[in-house]
Amino acid sequence: MAAPASPTCPSHPAAVAGWRCEQCESPLCPSCVETRRMGPVEYFACGRCGGTANVLLRHRSDFDFRQRLKDALRFPLTGPGLQMLLAVGTMLAVLRTLGGGIRLIQVLPLTLALGIFWTTFFALVKGAARGDPDPQAPDFTDVIRDNVMPGLRGLCVTVGVFLPALARALSLAPPAQQHPLIQFLGAPLETVMSPAAVEDPLTWGLLLLGFLWLPWAWLLASMGQSILGALHPVRALACLRALGRDAFQVMGVFAVLAVVHAAMHRQASAVLEFNIFFVSRWFAEVLTLIAPFAAANVLGLVLFVYGDALGYLPPRDFLEPVLGNTAPGRVPPPLRSSTPEAPEPEPQPELLSAAEVTSRLAAFTKAVDARDVAQALALYAALRVLPRLKLSPTHHLFIGQAAAVEGDFPLSVAALEAAADAAPEEPTAPRALVLLARVQGEKMGNTVRAEELYRYILHRYPDTDAARFAHARVPPAA
């Protein structure tokens, strides 16, 4: 399906609109939008009628998926990708070296190596699904949860998609070769594929089906599905329907990566023949990780673009500005002039004696306790500029609420920011941040800043009433 055409600006028909005015409802290009200031806060305004201009959003799937695929495939060659590639390669090389002795001793290090690979693979998928260019390395704090279980899920899903082909091949083997399935798990391919199986079209058809099925099984496993859920063919078909034509691009990329992976394995075998202690093993491991890391990033891209259709995240998280990071053509002058000519004199705090400061602070505290809003606002405006004077977070919070009610939003923003900064560990901090987000979004029209504040509350204060309030307005990202 073709992406819907973006609206154009009436004043500049050749320019794509990135904003829409709330008042005149006109689509606006960067030349027709200006950035204005209300105190320390900036917002967008229509250059025609002066109304608030909201950013136009489009679904991520409306953008060029092919270009996104090219960027995703470059991940192993980026700085963060190389760092993770070398780190995981080192861990796998150490474990495989330790597992090269007695068979009984091989089990533990090889199991840990399998878990490290799949845990990293799933972590890369989830990092790319968040759009994170520098995904966090997995935290191996629990051996069972963070190592054994991901390794078991990845191995079972990978083997599971090829079980129909393996069962067909075993059914065609002569009686002397019809061993139990477990004896074939470590056998070479020519042992499992008897001459009859090699000539059997159905066996090759099932192998091809397993190869086409594999990316979607990995994708479902990365989303947290159980092994049986990831191997459910109906869910794989649902992934194909969700991606539409882009599903063929993904499968084409995986076909190329399979060829690259086979070539890297041949190169790794050649490197191991040099038999340089540990160095050969380490370099071989790094080579064989390149294609899987690229595949993980491609699957993460699928979730990044189509995660809402796959039930991974709410639809709101998949909207992006039509014009990306393009800024309006008209911006306000900087708060501080860059030229030294005729600088504006900065307001100096009133010179007061210690007794006068103590007196005003006592009067301010009395006004707050008496809920005398007018007196408290007047005294706060003078007290907050005094050096080395620290008001309590509850005083800042009271002024922030009062100033918002009185319509003095810049003062409200300053007071609420001070309340959150003064004591970030106290209960007043999340309350102040919620009020600050509401003032920014509901009163000053700065919805972007409000969303940033809500997301910060969810991250910094997850188990509070403030977080539950924020969650209802901005669903948390994964």
pTM: 0.65
**From residue 173, how far is each of 204, 240, 453 by CA, in Å?**
15, 34, 64
- Over the stretch 67-87, which tens digit does the pLDDT of each residue have? 889 989 999 999 888 999 999
Domain boundaries, the chain: 1-56+322-334, 67-317, 354-473
Summarised one tens digit per residue, pLDDT across range 314-323 is 887 788 888 8
Is the pLDDT assigned to residue 395 strictly greater than 70?
yes
Asked if pLDDT for residue 218 goes beyond 60, the answer is yes
Between CA 368 and CA 402 the distance in angstroms is 10
Answer for the pair 53, 14: CB distance below 8 angstroms, yes or no: no
Q: Residue 136 pLDDT > 90, yes or no? A: no
**How much of the chain, in percent, has pLDDT values that exceed 70?**
83
The better pLDDT of the pair 444, 156 is held by 156
Average pLDDT over residues 377-390: 64
Q: What is the pLDDT of residues 236-258, one digit of tens each?
A: 999 999 999 999 999 999 999 99
Residue 60, pLDDT score:
86
What is the reported pLDDT for 282? 92
337 band by pLDDT with thresholds 50, 70 and 90: very low
DSSP string, 324-373: TTPPPSB-PPPSS-SS-SSPPPPPPPP---HHHHHHHHHHHHHHHHTT-H
pLDDT of residue 344: 47
* Other C-beta atoms lying within 10 Å of the C-beta of residue 160: 17
pLDDT (mean) for 118-143? 85
Say which residue, 109 or 352, is predicted with more confidence.
Answer: 109
Cβ neighbours of 428 (radius 10 Å): 21
CATH class of domain segment(s) 354-473: mainly alpha
pLDDT score for 164: 92
Q: What is the pLDDT of residue 354?
A: 64
413 vs 6 pLDDT, higher one: 413
Q: Which long-range contacts (CB under 8 A, 24 or more apart) does 243-251 make?
A: 243/302, 243/306, 243/309, 244/1, 245/1, 246/61, 246/65, 246/305, 246/306, 249/65, 249/66, 249/69, 250/69, 250/215, 250/298, 250/302, 251/212, 251/215
Q: Cα separation of 438 and 16, whole Å?
A: 31
Distance CA 223, CA 209 (A): 22
Q: Which tokens in the block code for residue 199?
A: 């000539």
pLDDT at 184: 43
Binned at pLDDT 50, 70 and 90, residue 385 comes out as low
pLDDT top residue among 424 and 182: 424
Local confidence band at 329 (pLDDT 50, 70, 90 cut-offs): confident
Cα–Cα separations (whole angstroms), residue 450 to 114, 174, 211, 332, 416: 43, 70, 46, 21, 13
As given in the structure block, the two tokens for residue 34 are 């200006």
Over the chain, what is the mean pLDDT? 81
Lowest mean pLDDT across 1-15, 25-39, 109-123, 437-451: 1-15
Q: For position 248, what pLDDT does the model report?
A: 94
The arithmetic mean of pLDDT across residues 15-41, rounded, is: 82
51-60, 120-129, 225-234, 469-478: least confident range:
469-478
Q: Is pLDDT above 70 for 104?
A: no
What pLDDT is recorded for position 333? 59
Question: Tens of pLDDT along 124-135?
Answer: 999 898 888 777
pLDDT of residue 207: 92
